[in-house]
Amino acid sequence: MDILAIKQRFGMIGNSVVLDRAIDIARQVASTDITVLISGESGTGKEFFPKIIHQLSSRKHGPYIAVNCGAIPEGTIDSELFGHEKGSFTGAHEARKGYFEVVNGGTIFLDEIAELPLSTQVRLLRVLESGEFIRVGSSKEIKTNVRVVGATNINIPDAIAAGKFRQDLYYRLNTVPIFIPPLRERKDDIYLLFRKFASDAAEKYRMPPIGLDENAQRLLINYRWPGNIRQLKNITEQISIIEKNRTIDGTTLAKYLPQLQVNELPILYKGEESGKFSERELLYKVLFDMKKDVNDLKQLVMSLMQNEKSIGILGENTHLIKRLYKNFDEINEEDQPVIIHSDGKNLAEPMQEPEEVEESLSLEKKEIDFIKKALQKHEGKRKDAANELGISERTLYRKIREYKIE
C-alpha cells in the first residue's frame, strides 16, 4: 500500500515531506515484530501510527488496544498491564487478566510510556526481552506474544538523566524510532487541516463552513501552534460555532489565538520549587529598588544645592549633578533652582565639558555581556558558566538561543 492510500484509509491530511517519511517508516516496519517508539509533541497525531503498523502487519486480525500510561494510577498500573490474582491486594476479589494477556497475538500501544513507574518499567523490559510476565500476587510465569508500540511527548534521554526512565528499556523500545513533526514544521498542511476541520464542524453542527481571508490565512500559517493539530481543530470548532460571519478576517482570528511570548519559557518540573520568585519578578524588584535609591539620591542632592553653605562644595561638581538629572529626567527644568556662584556665574547653565561616552543602561546588553564573559572565562562550558552567573544551565541555554550568542 502506498503512502497516499494509507493517508486516505486512516484519514490523515498533509503533503509534508517529514510526515510522508514517518508514514513510510511505519509502513516498512509493519511486516516485522520490531518494537517501535514514536516521539513528537502533544497533539501531533501520534495515535495514528500504531494503528497503521497494526493494520498493515500479520497481526491485523488479532486484538489491538491503546493504553494511556499517564492516566492510570501508579498503584494499579501493574495490575492493569499484567493482571492480578485473587486476594493479591485489597479489593482484588477475583483474578483478572492484564492487557498483555488479553492482547496475546495482537498489538498494544503504550501512549505516554515515559510516565510508567520504574518498577513497572522493569516488568515491561522482561516482556520485551523474553515475552514473559508474572501477575501481581502470583509466582507463575505467563507467556505472551504481543507487539509493543510506545509513544512519548517528552525527551526520554533527559528523563534517563533525571533517573525517571531506565536506559536499558529505552534502547529496547527505540529499535525503530519514528518522529512526528510539529505542526509549525508543516506550514503547507495547516490550511488544508483547517479546511477539513471547518467542513467537519459545518456538517456536525449543520451550518455553513467558515472561510478565511488572506490576512487570516497568513496569521493561521505563521502561528506556532503549541498544541499542534489538536489545538487547530479545537479553535476551528470554536470559531465555527461562535462567529456569525462565515468569512473570518485576521482580527477575528487573532482573538482565538493565545498570545505567546517570543521566548518560550520552560515548564517547571514537579520537583522544582514554584514558591520562589521567578527571574522576571526578581529583575523587576531590583529595578524598583534601584529607582527608589536614585530618587532618594536626587532628593539629597537637591537639598544640598538649595543649602547656601553647600554651594562652594558642589560648585566644581555641578556637571556631575546635571548629568544625574539628564540620565534620570524626573523633574522639569523649570523646577531646577538657579544657583549663583561667588564669581557670578549661573551653575544651572550648560557648561563645556569633555565629551564622554555614556555607558548603556540596557539590561539586555548587560546580560549579554555577562553571559559572554562567563562563557569566555570557562572556555565555553555552559554548566560552569551557569554556576558563575547564578542561574540554571537550562536558563543559560535558553538565553543563549534568545540572544543568538555564538
Which tens digits make up the pLDDT trace of 315-346? 555 555 555 555 544 444 444 444 444 444 44
Q: Average per-residue pLDDT in the chain?
A: 81
Q: Under CATH, which architecture does the 192-254 domain have?
A: Orthogonal Bundle (1.10)
- Between 266 and 374, residue with greater pLDDT: 374
Q: Which residue has the cell 500559517?
A: 221
Residue 247 near residue 210, CB atoms below 8 Å? yes
Q: One-letter amino acid identity for 67?
A: V
Residue 153 near residue 42, CB atoms below 8 Å? yes
Closest C-alpha among 342, 341, 297 to residue 321: 297
Strand partners, 84: 96, 136
The rounded Cα 71 to chain-centroid distance in angstroms is 21
Class at the top of the CATH hierarchy for domain 361-403: mainly alpha
User: Tell me, what's the pLDDT at 305?
Assistant: 59
Q: Which helix (H) or strand (E) holds 307?
A: none
Start-end of CATH 3.40.50.300 domains in the chain = 3-181
C-alpha span between 381 and 304 (Å, rounded): 50
Start-end of CATH 1.10.8.60 domains in the chain = 192-254
Closest C-alpha among 41, 11, 54, 23 to residue 224: 41
Instruction: Give the global pTM.
Output: 0.62
Query: What number is the average pLDDT over the span 213-222?
Result: 94
Tens of pLDDT, residue by residue over 250-259, are 999 999 998 7
**Tell me, which fold does domain 3-181 have in CATH?**
Rossmann fold (3.40.50)
Q: Which helix (H) or strand (E) holds 178?
A: strand 176-179
∠ CA 157-158-163 to the nearest 5 degrees? 95
User: Tell me, what's the pLDDT at 389?
Assistant: 79
Query: What number is the average pLDDT over the span 3-25?
Result: 94
